[in-house]
Amino acid sequence: MLKAVVIVLGALIVIALGVLVVGLIVRFSSRGPSGTGAGTRFTLPAGAKVIEMQTQPSRLVLHVRTEAGEEVDIIDTADGHLVSQVRAPK
């Protein structure tokens, strides 16, 4: 009886380690060298100037001045994509 319990628990440990390794491989292989999975990275418009920058957990908040006016951009720091944008025209 005790042998069976030890064998089952050992098998569960091996399966859990296998799932962990596969999860790590999938997570790290889905991102390219640029750090983005989908290839969508936020870029500032030409001539834009960052007026203020703040950080929040997993977010970067930029107050930006462009030729078209001012805007606030919220960017996901995990993959660099634009989460939200608020524009105030000149």
Residue appearing with tokens 């944008």: 85
* pLDDT tens track for 22-59: 988 888 876 554 444 455 677 888 888 999 999 988 89
Quote the pLDDT of residue 15.
Answer: 95
Full DSSP string of 24-52 = HHHHHHSS-TTS-SSS----PPTT-EEEE
Residues 70 and 63: beta-carbon distance below 8 Å: yes
Quote the pLDDT of residue 32.
Answer: 52
pTM score: 0.53
- Indicate the domain borders of the chain: 1-30, 38-90
